[in-house]
Chains A and B, each alone.
Chain A
Amino acid sequence: MTTETKGRYGKFGGQFVPETIMTALQELETAYEEAQLDPAFSKELDYYLKEFVGRETPLFFAERLTKHAGGAKIYLKREDLNHTGAHKINNSLGQALLALRMGKKKVVAETGAGQHGVATATACALLGLECVVFMGKEDIRRQELNVFRMELLGTKVVSVDKGSGTLKDAVNEALRYWVSNVEDTHYILGSALGPHPFPQIVRDFQRVIGDETRRQIVEHEGRLPNAVVACIGGGSNAIGMFHPFVDDQDVKLYGVEAAGSGISTGKHAAAIAGKQEGVLHGAYMYVLQDDDGFIQEAHSISAGLDYPAVGPEHCHLADIQRVQYDSVTDQQALEAVQLLSRVEGIIPALESAHAVYYAVQLAKEMKEDQLVVICLSGRGDKDMQTVRDALGGQSI
């Protein structure tokens, strides 16, 4: 598909949405363009990022992990130290401020793991916005405590038992809700997905990760890293981390998808590895689907990577081979959770653990004077039950 429209990343992206949403997307686009030009907007966002979220986050030299790998020096970008425990708040806060600017009083969001839901519930509590979050029934079961967190923050959580009862179905419901309430409601999409302008807005609010990293690594080492690694669900932490480095051809970029039980088993969430193009939730992307074009369920131990597509900008970066995309299995991610916990005293989110596993293998193959940065997108508190169950429930 090569139709010339807005919000294209090569052949990917676009605005494949019902007509009833088009006006809202155009309104959002205009409001966002105005906000970008308004110094007061970025000043307000910066204020909250610093005073409320706790930015900037450290770029930490992982000395013992480096020794363990026995190769390149490994740095961790500590997005896990953000308020609410992941990078998701960067985007939720930015979009909640945008909603206020547009005069919207209500916010709708979807959530998979619950991290984006919690981050959005938090931003809405902070700014006095009403918030409703759609969450798949299966995910509600997997992430019970995050549901309670959202409710404590004053958000209404609605269970979605349609389809597979996971993230993609929650997005469907959130979109339906938005179409029906578009006059007073903004949709805070949680990853670099969806119709234009969402992939761009989410990327811009997440690029603070990459901007800080670029500056910090130069402060620490006097040069740019040789490699940057991030996990890919929809792709928001990764695109935020990668974007400021895309023009630095010497910085190798690695996106890590979830291989679930293994790509060959069919039970995975690695849409780029699957190589099939299609349209889901308003954008042309790599999408897991069957021969009839029905969207397939994704599978991963980490609810945050459990989405059957990857945001359009990543699809393009894969196509032009600027970023190398690989995948890591559930088992390998579990190993990395344990490894990082023991050698660095940091319990990573299962999502982030995919990047940790990959980066350690990568560092082994690199020279000792080379530098690898891992985007540690979130902390593991939310996953304790899942990890314990997966490890057989015994004490370790």
Chain B
Amino acid sequence: MTKKLVTQAIMQCNEQGNKAFVPYIMAGDGGLQTLKKNILFLQEAGATAIEVGIPFSDPVADGDVIQQAGERALAEGVTLRKIMKELASFKEEVKIPLVIMTYLNPVLSYGLQSIAADCEASGVYGLIIPDLPLEESGLLKDALKDTEVALIQLVSLTSPTERIEAIAKAAEGFIYAVTVNGITGVRSSFTEELEGHLERLKAASSVPVLAGFGISTPEHVRTLGGLADGVIVGSAIVTALHEGDYEKVQTLINASKNQLTNS
């Protein structure tokens, strides 16, 4: 299998002169029925792909905003199984690839073979599992071997060069470059070394590089988008959707358009 669907979506977007914009949403925040509405809205608003977050009892890689959204979703009784079913129910209407972001334990509980078998029927073409680093990723990679589903790895820009290169070499779909030392959440500034780090990463990688963690303003989207192939925006989108501020979401997405000249 080529596992190219997510990669292609990003490259096509880049070819049209835009940076990729991948919003993160917490599935089930506001009830499971909002999932379809939010996904179709984001697709319409110009998202390149959508990262669908699965709530978890112990989200160690997440900051306050996403933790709270997760707790709201858990209170709604949302689970990975319910989300996969719901996604499958309106798959025909979704034209952009969905990527699921979940911690490992719900996936183990769902079953590695089962999730591999079910993803495509739900329109899911990528999995991001923050507590599954390269060293531990073998089993899931095996399970996904005969599918179109990419196992997307995160890379920390402060990691040693050899490690970054090893991850880049094994990368599928895109590389999720963590732009800050820390957890998800809103940040006011990024380190100055970021530019060099992202450039080295792009050079080492055969798949697109998206920058994520802490991107929260149109300004961030422009700056970091300019340094990478696109951005992932989490906490700011989650907050805006929670507050029903669709205009803010649109403004963020718009900031990723027409900006290939920057890079």
Assess whether A163 is interfacial by the CB under 8 Å rule.
yes
Assess whether A180 is interfacial by the CB under 8 Å rule.
yes
A sample of 25 cross-chain residue pairs with beta-carbon separation below 8 angstroms, ordered by A number, consists of A3-B136, A3-B138, A17-B60, A18-B61, A19-B155, A19-B159, A20-B154, A20-B181, A23-B158, A163-B58, A168-B58, A169-B58, A176-B61, A179-B182, A278-B109, A279-B104, A279-B105, A280-B105, A281-B58, A292-B80, A292-B81, A292-B106, A293-B80, A294-B74, A295-B105
> A5, A23, A183: which contacts B135 (Cβ < 8 A)?
A5
Q: Of all chain A residues, which has the CB nearest B61?
A: A18
What residues on B are CB-neighbors of A5 within 8 Å? Answer: 135-136
Assess whether B108 is interfacial by the CB under 8 Å rule.
yes
Are B109 and A18 in contact, with the CB atoms below 8 A?
Answer: no
Assess whether B34 is interfacial by the CB under 8 Å rule.
no
In the bound complex, how far is the Cα of B32 from the Cα of A21, in angstroms?
Answer: 32
In the bound complex, how far is the Cα of B102 from the Cα of A279, in angstroms?
Answer: 13
In the bound complex, how far is the Cα of B32 from the Cα of A53, in angstroms?
Answer: 55
On whether A289 and B181 interact (CB within 8 A), knowing A17-B133, A22-B156, A22-B159, the answer reads no
Are A6 and B135 in contact, with the CB atoms below 8 A?
Answer: yes
Are B182 and A16 in contact, with the CB atoms below 8 A?
Answer: no
On whether A179 and B181 interact (CB within 8 A), knowing A22-B156, A172-B60, A293-B108, the answer reads yes
**Which A residues from 108 to 165 make CB contacts under 8 A with B?**
162-163
The A contact surface, by secondary structure, is: loop
Instruction: State how many angstroms separate the Cβ of B21 from the closest Cβ of chain A.
Output: 22
Assess whether A255 is interfacial by the CB under 8 Å rule.
no
What residues on B are CB-neighbors of A179 within 8 Å? Answer: 61, 181-183
Assess whether A282 is interfacial by the CB under 8 Å rule.
yes
Assess whether B178 is interfacial by the CB under 8 Å rule.
yes
Are B74 and A19 in contact, with the CB atoms below 8 A?
Answer: no
Assess whether B132 is interfacial by the CB under 8 Å rule.
yes
Interface residues of A (CB under 8 A from B): 1-6, 14-20, 22-23, 162-163, 168-169, 172, 175-176, 179-180, 182-183, 277-282, 287, 289, 291-296
What residues on A are CB-neighbors of B138 within 8 Å? Answer: 3-4
Instruction: State how many angstroms separate the Cβ of B33 from the closest Cβ of chain A.
Output: 19
What residues on B are CB-neighbors of A278 within 8 Å? Answer: 105, 108-109
On whether A23 and B156 interact (CB within 8 A), knowing A6-B135, A17-B131, A293-B110, the answer reads yes
Instruction: State how many angstroms separate the Cβ of A19 from the closest Cβ of chain B.
Output: 4
Are B178 and A19 in contact, with the CB atoms below 8 A?
Answer: yes
What residues on B are CB-neighbors of A287 within 8 Å? Answer: 105
Q: Of all chain B residues, which has the CB nearest A20?
A: B156
In the bound complex, how far is the Cα of B57 from the Cα of A157, in angstroms?
Answer: 23
In the bound complex, how far is the Cα of B63 from the Cα of A180, in angstroms?
Answer: 10
Assess whether B153 is interfacial by the CB under 8 Å rule.
yes
Instruction: State how many angstroms separate the Cβ of A87 from the closest Cβ of chain B.
Output: 26
Instruction: State how many angstroms separate the Cβ of B48 from the closest Cβ of chain A.
Output: 22
Q: A23-B163, A163-B57 are in contact. List 9 more A-B contacts (CB 8 A).
A: A3-B135, A17-B60, A19-B159, A19-B178, A279-B105, A282-B131, A292-B79, A293-B110, A296-B57
**Which B residues from 37 to 81 make CB contacts under 8 A with A?**
56-61, 63, 67, 71, 74, 79-81
What residues on B are CB-neighbors of A175 within 8 Å? Answer: 60
Q: Of all chain A residues, which has the CB nearest B140?
A: A3
Assess whether B5 is interfacial by the CB under 8 Å rule.
no
Q: Of all chain B residues, which has the CB nearest A23?
A: B159
Assess whether B130 is interfacial by the CB under 8 Å rule.
yes
8 closest A-B pairs by beta carbon, nearest first, are A293-B109, A180-B182, A293-B106, A292-B79, A294-B57, A19-B154, A293-B105, A18-B61
In the bound complex, how far is the Cα of B105 from the Cα of A22, in angstroms?
Answer: 19
Assess whether B260 is interfacial by the CB under 8 Å rule.
no
Assess whether B9 is interfacial by the CB under 8 Å rule.
no
In the bound complex, how far is the Cα of B71 from the Cα of A163, in angstroms?
Answer: 8
> A14, A20, A292: which contacts B136 (Cβ < 8 A)?
A14
Assess whether B204 is interfacial by the CB under 8 Å rule.
no
What residues on B are CB-neighbors of A182 within 8 Å? Answer: 181
Instruction: State how many angstroms separate the Cβ of A306 from the closest Cβ of chain B.
Output: 15
What residues on B are CB-neighbors of A23 within 8 Å? Answer: 156, 158-160, 163
Are A20 and B109 in contact, with the CB atoms below 8 A?
Answer: no
What residues on B are CB-neighbors of A168 within 8 Å? Answer: 58
Are B181 and A293 in contact, with the CB atoms below 8 A?
Answer: no
What residues on B are CB-neighbors of A22 within 8 Å? Answer: 133, 135, 156, 159, 163
Are A16 and B131 in contact, with the CB atoms below 8 A?
Answer: yes
What residues on B are CB-neighbors of A180 within 8 Å? Answer: 181-183
**Which B residues from 85 to 114 make CB contacts under 8 A with A?**
103-110
Assess whether B139 is interfacial by the CB under 8 Å rule.
yes
Taken residue by residue from 127 to 160, chain B's Cβ proximity to chain A (1 for < 8 Å, 0 otherwise) reads as 0001111111011000000000000011110111
In the bound complex, how far is the Cα of B136 from the Cα of A182, in angstroms?
Answer: 22
Are A20 and B58 in contact, with the CB atoms below 8 A?
Answer: no
In the bound complex, how far is the Cα of B212 from the Cα of A19, in angstroms?
Answer: 13
What residues on A are CB-neighbors of B58 within 8 Å? Answer: 163, 168-169, 172, 280-281, 295
In the bound complex, how far is the Cα of B60 from the Cα of A168, in angstroms?
Answer: 11
Q: Of all chain A residues, which has the CB nearest B141?
A: A3
What residues on B are CB-neighbors of A293 within 8 Å? Answer: 80, 105-110
What residues on A are CB-neighbors of B74 within 8 Å? Answer: 294
**Which has the most chain B C-beta neighbours within 10 Å: A16, A282, A287?**
A16
Q: Of all chain B residues, which has the CB nearest A2?
A: B139
In the bound complex, how far is the Cα of B155 from the Cα of A22, in angstroms?
Answer: 10
What residues on A are CB-neighbors of B56 within 8 Å? Answer: 294
Are A16 and B136 in contact, with the CB atoms below 8 A?
Answer: yes
Instruction: State how many angstroms separate the Cβ of B118 from the closest Cβ of chain A.
Output: 15
What residues on B are CB-neighbors of A291 within 8 Å? Answer: 109
What residues on B are CB-neighbors of A20 within 8 Å? Answer: 61, 154, 156, 158, 178, 181-183
Q: Of all chain A residues, which has the CB nearest B183?
A: A176
In the bound complex, how far is the Cα of B134 from the Cα of A28, in angstroms?
Answer: 18
Are A289 and B61 in contact, with the CB atoms below 8 A?
Answer: no
Instruction: State how many angstroms separate the Cβ of B116 from the closest Cβ of chain A.
Output: 15
What residues on B are CB-neighbors of A289 within 8 Å? Answer: 105, 109
What residues on A are CB-neighbors of B139 within 8 Å? Answer: 1-3
What residues on B are CB-neighbors of A6 within 8 Å? Answer: 135
